[in-house]
Amino acid sequence: MRVSRSRLGALGSAVLSILAGGVVFAAASAAHAAGAPIVVGATVSETGPLAADAVFQLKGEALGVAVANAHGGWLGRKVLLKYYDDKSSPGTAVRLYQRLITEDKVNLLLGPYSSLVTIGIAPLINKYKMATIEPGASVPTIYVKGNKWNIQGIASSTTYLKQLLPLAHKAGANKVALVGLESAFTLACLDARVAQAKQLGMKVVYRTTYALPMPDFSPIALAIKNAHPDVVLGCTYYPDAVGIARALHQQGFAPKYFGETVGPVEPAFIKALGPLANRILSNTSWWHNYKTPGNKAFIAAFTKKFGIAPDYHAAVGYSGIEVLGAAVKATHSLNQAKLRAYILSHTVPTIQGPFKVSRYGLMLGASQEMVQIQNGVLKLMTPPSLAEGKVLVPYTGS
């Protein structure tokens, strides 16, 4: 087939025009990408039964992003946190993460609050291969081979109140009552503590689970009272932590040792229970006296920005942003595979301690330490090197 010169010229011009157009488009895109913020997507339970703790995680993440921007952002770009309220519902969270990934097209993801909600979104995270730090999901069974894109950002649920039973056992306590909410985290916590009690040779005299909303904890409190335990340990979130403490008191029972996992560290808990909160034991994976890099600045900035002191949920949210930032800067990339490989193979210093995870993303660095409310103030009880006092017993319930 013969093609005339003029036609060849025209074709060449067209190809050149397309190529030139492509270059211009690519250049424009690069300029746009360079100027566009890096968007970190997340959902947080701003409403629903998990809200009391979850909003602290959100505040920590928001502060992390503000601090990152104050230091010039990542890869020369601003960082933006785009989040939605998942209403403490895994179903809602799945829809919202789908929106974040496919419609908002966020560059990076952070997980929601709680293991319950995280279990809901885990398949989606793996489907879209997004390296996602989970600041609020402590259940270790999430971080297995099949869920390789989920990376734990908080201490394992098996470490919550792990110091309480050995402490009580050492002091001669033998009978334990264990209660827990029907939820992934609390059930994992409950199983771990039951196993620990058996390992220590302690007798589990009462064990039950319940669902929220629970109208009245007095039947459970009465059953606990009649089982005569030395230790009452609740694997709780905030609303049930308040309900159980109040019901035990109203049934006229105060165990020698009383611990609840999530709830007592929130200021609202002490406000809601007043003197009943005194001597309740709980846990934290971060504390204000941790000698970790940036911890003092974090506390000052958080208190200034939100007018309240941070808790460990705020610290894990903040740490999640710290780790994402470190990975983006080290890899000079937003490539999910590169980010995941970096996070899994490096120890990143954060305010809650060294962020180190296993090959399947299971947290190895952080651990839960024990705190106790003493005269309306939370004090760190473990580790001994950082303890702010000694555990006071018995729990008086007044």
Start-to-end CA distance of the chain, whole Å, equals: 99
Q: How far is the CB of 61 from other proteins (least distance, A)?
A: 17
DSSP notation for 74-100: BTTB-EEEEEEE-TT-HHHHHHHHHII
Q: How far is the CB of 348 from other proteins (least distance, A)?
A: 31
| Cα gap 12→313, rounded to integer Å | 62
Q: How far is the CB of 134 from other proteins (least distance, A)?
A: 22
Q: How far is the CB of 251 from other proteins (least distance, A)?
A: 6
Reported residue count of the chain is 398
Shorter beta-carbon distance to other proteins: residue 38 or 52: 52
Answer whether the bond into residue 394 is a cis peptide, omega within 30°.
Answer: yes
Q: How far is the CB of 201 from other proteins (least distance, A)?
A: 25
Residue 330 is classified by DSSP as: H
Q: Which of 272, 268, 228, 230 is nearest to 251 (CA)?
A: 228
Q: Which of 185, 187, 213, 181 is nearest to 117 (CA)?
A: 185
Shorter beta-carbon distance to other proteins: residue 194 or 276: 276
| Cα gap 238→364, rounded to integer Å | 26
Q: How far is the CB of 222 from other proteins (least distance, A)?
A: 6
Shorter beta-carbon distance to other proteins: residue 38 or 232: 232
Q: How far is the CB of 240 from other proteins (least distance, A)?
A: 9
Residue 142 is classified by DSSP as: G
Shorter beta-carbon distance to other proteins: residue 155 or 245: 245
The residue type found at 100 is: L
Task: Read off the tokens for 95.
Answer: 């829809």
Q: Footprint of other proteins on this chain (CB under 8 A)?
A: 46-49, 51-52, 55, 87, 179, 182, 208-211, 213-220, 222-223, 226, 238-239, 242-243, 246, 249-252, 268, 271-274, 276
Question: Any idea what the Cα angle at residue 178 is, between residues 172 and 179, rounded to 5°?
Answer: 155
Shorter beta-carbon distance to other proteins: residue 49 or 365: 49
- Residue the block writes with tokens 């996992």: 261
Q: How far is the CB of 181 from other proteins (least distance, A)?
A: 9
Shorter beta-carbon distance to other proteins: residue 42 or 276: 276
Q: Which of 194, 111, 121, 192 is nearest to 159 (CA)?
A: 192
Shorter beta-carbon distance to other proteins: residue 122 or 273: 273
Shorter beta-carbon distance to other proteins: residue 58 or 173: 58
Q: Which of 274, 201, 257 is nearest to 372 (CA)?
A: 257
